[in-house]
A = this chain, B = another copy of it.
């Protein structure tokens, strides 16, 4: 998918979608939170995934929506064993 097309599907004005996307990708400008959310929606990536620097946790975030109810419970049970401060 082209930069332009991605922007269009995220709801950008088609006439400026290309430069906008390019400026984001090149780091010239930064999308605001709403724009990031729309791009993530198009790309099928959880927004939280972008803001996670722990690779293990990133894998959990990326796949959690596909984890079934029982396995979720198992994961939460493990997580909840951490000592409360």
Contact = CB atoms under 8 A, between A and B. Distances in A.
Interface of A: 30, 32-33, 46-52, 54, 56-57, 59-61, 63-67, 71-72, 74-76, 78-83
Main secondary structure of the interface of A (DSSP, over half): helix
Nearest to A31: B33
A79 B75 CA distance: 9
Copies per complex of this chain? 2
Contact of A32 (B30, B56, B65, B78): B30
A57 B61 contact: yes
Nearest to A72: B56
Nearest to A62: B79
B48 A57 contact: yes
